[in-house]
Amino acid sequence: MHFPLRLVAIDVDGTLVPAIGQALTARVTQALKSAQEAGITVVIATGRRTAYTLPLFVGCGLRADMPLITSNGAVTRTLGGEVLAGRTMESRVARGLCGLLPPFGALVFTFDRPGRGALVVEDLSKAHGRIQVWVEANRNAIEVVTPLEDALLDGEDPIQGMAAGTVEQMRAAEATVRASEWGSQCECQRTEYPARGFSILDLLPLGVSKAAALEKLAARLGVESREAMAIGDNWNDVEMLEWAGQGVLMGNATPELRALGKERGWKLAPPNDEDGVAVVLEAAIARHARVKAD
């Protein structure tokens, strides 16, 4: 039995945007608008912080009440700025992580505040070497604090931490966190880009993930998982794809993830640089119309 599609949650990097460039293509933009016009709630679910997500949708003609799940589920707001939910990490946990992660690569903490200081790093040259594009795009928000623990005072809780390095480094970093005393006090969400030799390990408040935030949002909207679709391409999307009644994995996902997707019964979309999200949404909108007509 096919249930009417009422909600679709979509990842950004590696999913919604093409491999080259940071803007939405015209076809993807139109597909998002058409989904909204068909009565489907479009939800953006990304590891990006809110301020780094919003510029993608400026001038696209999308609804102001479109939900944005950002920082891998730590913050949920609408495109128009209404705060729907938010969580922070205890500063003491963040300070503990500072003692574990420097050997593995660059470490950044994100705060829910505007302007400089929204992102705090200890060694900008180290971060620049790993994540040059990210640094340039966020330079006006970055503050250098040495030692990093000085930015993590009690009462100054970050939204999340982020370590960046090679795939091997971040797998080792995740194993180190999980084996430590802090492993039971935070969540680890990993994204990998093997072709670039690059990986990110997001460190989140306990219980926070894209899937958890999406489940809470869906309950708020009265939407059941069987009425939802999720589209993603990386490891931090797995729980979200499992929660949704219709999981869709992008064709540009790694072979390891594509094998998992086949095992889990997820559909496979065309790659992100072939407007894969638009292809999926166009077909879903057509099915949605047929189901509603029956």
pLDDT surpassing 90 at residue 195? no
Token pair 């009690």: residue: 154
**What tens digit of pLDDT does each residue of 118-168 get?**
999 988 776 655 577 778 878 899 999 999 999 999 888 999 999 988 899
CA-to-CA distance for 44 and 1, rounded, in angstroms? Answer: 27
41-55, 126-140, 228-242, 270-284: the lowest-pLDDT one: 126-140
pLDDT class of 198 with cuts at 50, 70, 90:
confident
pLDDT for res 67: 98
Q: Are residues 221 and 277 in the same domain?
A: yes
CA-to-CA distance for 13 and 8, rounded, in angstroms? Answer: 16
46-50, 104-108, 251-255, 268-272: the lowest-pLDDT one: 104-108
pLDDT for res 292: 67
Q: Are residues 77 and 214 in the same domain?
A: yes
The CATH code of the domain that includes 19 is: 3.40.50.1000
Average pLDDT over residues 90-115: 91
Q: Are residues 191 and 263 in the same domain?
A: no
Answer whether 130's CB lies under 8 Å from 107's CB.
no
pLDDT for res 1: 43
CA-to-CA distance for 294 and 283, rounded, in angstroms? Answer: 17
User: Angle 26-37/276-293 helices, nearest 10 degrees?
Assistant: 20
CA-to-CA distance for 223 and 203, rounded, in angstroms? Answer: 28
Counting the structural domains of the chain, the total is: 2
pLDDT class of 294 with cuts at 50, 70, 90:
low
Domain holding 138, by residue range, is 91-205
Average pLDDT over residues 46-73: 95
Average pLDDT over residues 68-85: 97
Provide the H-helix boundaries in the chain: 26-37, 50-53, 91-98, 124-130, 132-138, 167-179, 210-221, 238-243, 255-264, 276-293
Token pair 């489907």: residue: 40
pLDDT surpassing 90 at residue 117? yes
Q: Are residues 64 and 97 in the same domain?
A: no
Residue 186 DSSP symbol: E
3-class SS of residue 75: strand
pLDDT surpassing 50 at residue 43? yes
Q: Are residues 221 and 75 in the same domain?
A: yes
Half-sphere CA count of 94, side-chain side, radius 13 A: 30
Closest CA to 203 of 105, 57, 276: 105
Q: Is residue 30 part of a domain?
A: yes
Q: Are residues 222 and 289 in the same domain?
A: yes
Instruction: Compute the mean pLDDT over every residue in the chain, rounded to the nearest whole number.
Output: 92
Q: Are residues 61 and 130 in the same domain?
A: no
CA-to-CA distance for 73 and 54, rounded, in angstroms? Answer: 15
Q: Are residues 104 and 54 in the same domain?
A: no
Q: Which two tokens stand for residue 172?
A: 């080792």
Q: Which two tokens stand for residue 156?
A: 């100054």
Q: Are residues 102 and 199 in the same domain?
A: yes
Taking the mean position of all CA atoms in its chain, how far away is CA 73? 7
* Residue 117 bridge partners (DSSP): none
Residue 273 — φ and ψ, nearest 5°? Answer: -85, 10
Q: Is residue 18 part of a domain?
A: yes
